[in-house]
Structure 1
Amino acid sequence: MKEQNIPLGIWLMVVTTFIFAMQDGLSRHLAGEYNAMMVVMVRYWFFAAFVITIASRQAGGLRNAAKSGMPWVQAFRAALLVVEINVMVVGFVFLGLVESHAVFACYPLLVAALSGPVLGEKVGWRRWTAIAVGFVGVIIILQPSGGVFSPYAVIPLLSALMFALYGLLTRYVARADMAATSFFYTGTVGMVVATAIGVWFWEPMTAPDWGWMAILCVTGAAGHYTLIRVYEVAEASAVQPFAYLQLVFASALGIVVFGESIRLNVALGVALIVLAGLFTLWRARQVAAT
């Protein structure tokens, strides 16, 4: 078994969450000026080139990377991620980074709740209790009595549901395929789907915004690379809690750059969601150890 380097894994996860938060900020800026579907499409062109380059340098090349025991499931999960990213970027435009990420933070709880029907895993009463507490946090954030709640509030919630299903399907295909195969399908099939959606919304961009787009593409590739490195050097259960730092970084960016604010109900709701999520991660690790 490969030796674990937990401290390095944690630092890499911190770097990864920071990169992804900056990527979210760039996406919000560009999607505020241009159609979100087009922005995601260009991102995927660069991402696919990155994935193909990585795969071509591995043993067996592209043929080996494309070999899958579940090609249709791989294709579906790749397409699902494209739709999820489009939905989340639209959420950034309508709700902002702070509130979008506040609601999206519930996705680990959705993963726990859906792991039974999708993967056949047993979810005990402790984790169901944590899931319920987390969704109380979501309700506090949404404030149906008249706070954040609007039709737009459903956008990041739908995104979280799709991302949770994507994560579960990624675990499902891991039973038959290597991580490199899943990564290859994510980039290549994702690029085809993103182009099929985004090509209808093409509009010319200014030279400065092409610069921002280039930075967005580079950060996307860099974030995926550091995330791969995270799971190469440390087990997922040890570093996953630090993934919540993306919420912190994105919120800080929303406040400093976009002039957003954090209301008390959002802070309280996020606290409940994060605590419930950390408990489900801890509980899953305890169960795995027994």
Structure 2
Amino acid sequence: MLVAAATFVAMDSMAKQLGQSYSPVQLVWARYGVHLIVMVVGLLALRRFDRSILISQAPLGQFFRGVLLLGATIFSYLAVRELPLAQVYVINFSSPVIVTLLAIPLLGEPVNGIRIAAVLAGFSGVFVAMQPDLVAMNPAMAFPVGMAFCFAMYQLATRYFSHQDSPITSLLYTAVAGGLLCSLVVPFSWTPIQVSDMLPFVAIGTLGAVGHLALILAMRFASASLVSPFLYSQLLWATLSGFLFFNELPTLNTLAGAFMVIGSGMILLFWGRQDRVKHGNGE
């Protein structure tokens, strides 16, 4: 999960830089197209590519999971083009809060006072980090909110399908879903790629493949309550990258919101783990 956190920030940093010259659709297409090419070439080189990789126990579900990640990626690239990296990640940290809300109707998880308080605190933190101006609200703030919602749904889907298919099969379906859908629309927003930008374009897809393989493996071999908090290390990397490459520093509102969101997420993850231990399902 630490590897996933670092690679996601590196990928988004490159997308933020390239987003000044290329459309988000083209960047997302590179993200999934290169992801697919790198994966297939790597499997062929390791002699591990066979028909069994193409067979999924839930192909439609895996494709839907890929669409969710595609949505999160699109919102992410739109967000980082307009907003500071640290602010985008703080808002995206509301994913565990959204997962908790969605798990109540979708998974039938119980509701109690602690969970309700943590959810309210989490969304309050997002509101603080967004630094809203009720007179002139920045429309770009909708992008990281959409990113957080799609990523929360993706996490739920990953958790559900991680024990039905191998990590390689899950990763392949992720690339295929994103690659196919983006290929349908990228011709309408294509800008010729400069030679100097070729390497970052390739790096976006490569980092995406590595990061999501790490995420899938983390969810497969450990409980979400154990590994999910390590994604919060993204804030450190995002702050460092924003300062070094984009001359960005997090505001006090962003830091205060981060404290509230991360705190609520930790409470929800810890409380969920305690519930599983209490009912004999802990790890």
Instruction: Give 1:147 deviation, angstroms.
Output: 9.6
Q: Deviations over 1:241-290 (max 9, x none)?
A: 11100122112211221011211111111100001001111111111111
1:164 aligns with 2:144: no
Query: 1:78 maps to which residue?
Result: 66
Instruction: Give 1:155 deviation, angstroms.
Output: 0.9
Q: Is the 8 A contact 1:106 1:277 kept in 2?
A: yes
Q: SS where residue 33 of structure 1 aligns? A: coil
State the distance in 2 between where 1:94 and 1:137 align. Answer: 20
1:47 aligns with 2:35: yes
Query: 2:84 maps to which residue?
Result: 96
% identity of equivalent residues? 29
Instruction: Give 1:177 deviation, angstroms.
Output: 3.9
- TM-score of the superposition, structure 2-length normalised? 0.87
State the distance in 2 between where 1:151 and 1:30 align. Answer: 21
Structure 1 counterpart of 2:26, which letter? M
Q: Pick which of 230-239 and 147-156 moved more.
A: 230-239
Q: Is the 8 A contact 1:113 1:128 kept in 2?
A: no
Q: Is the 8 A contact 1:118 1:168 kept in 2?
A: no
State the distance in 1 between where 2:40 and 2:59 align. Answer: 17
Residues 260, 211 of structure 1: CA spacing in aligned structure 2 closer, same or farther, 3 A cutoff?
same
Residues 226, 80 of structure 1: CA spacing in aligned structure 2 closer, same or farther, 3 A cutoff?
closer
- TM-score of the superposition, structure 1-length normalised? 0.86
Q: Is the 8 A contact 2:90 2:129 kept in 1?
A: yes
Q: Is the 8 A contact 2:55 2:169 kept in 1?
A: yes
Q: Is the 8 A contact 2:30 2:204 kept in 1?
A: no
State the distance in 2 between where 1:152 and 1:199 align. Answer: 25
Query: 1:18 maps to which residue?
Result: 6
Q: Is the 8 A contact 2:12 2:76 kept in 1?
A: no
Query: 1:217 maps to which residue?
Result: 205
1:116 aligns with 2:104: yes
Query: 1:4 maps to which residue?
Result: none
Residues 235, 50 of structure 1: CA spacing in aligned structure 2 closer, same or farther, 3 A cutoff?
farther
1:286 aligns with 2:267: no
Instruction: Give 1:109 deviation, angstroms.
Output: 0.8
Where in structure 2 are the equivalents of 1:186-205 lying within 5 Å?
Answer: 186-205=174-193
State the distance in 2 between where 1:49 and 1:79 align. Answer: 18
State the distance in 1 between where 2:166 and 2:196 align. Answer: 39
Structure 1: 5+ residue runs without aligned partners?
1-12
Structure 2 counterpart of 1:255, which letter? F
Instruction: Give 1:36 deviation, angstroms.
Output: 1.1
Instruction: Give 1:146 deviation, angstroms.
Output: 5.3
1:143 aligns with 2:134: no
Instruction: Give 1:144 deviation, angstroms.
Output: 3.0
Instruction: Give 1:122 deviation, angstroms.
Output: 2.7
Query: 1:7 maps to which residue?
Result: none
Structure 2: 5+ residue runs without aligned partners?
279-283
Cα RMSD (Å): 2.4
Q: Pick which of 125-134 and 62-71 moved more.
A: 62-71
Q: Is the 8 A contact 1:55 1:65 kept in 2?
A: no
Instruction: Give 1:102 deviation, angstroms.
Output: 1.8
Residues 70, 110 of structure 1: CA spacing in aligned structure 2 closer, same or farther, 3 A cutoff?
same
Instruction: Give 1:53 deviation, angstroms.
Output: 4.9
State the distance in 1 between where 2:265 and 2:81 align. Answer: 26
Where in structure 2 are the equivalents of 1:174-253 lying within 5 Å?
Answer: 174=162, 176-230=164-218, 234-253=222-241
Query: 1:276 maps to which residue?
Result: 264
Structure 2 counterpart of 1:203, which letter? T
Instruction: Give 1:55 deviation, angstroms.
Output: 6.3
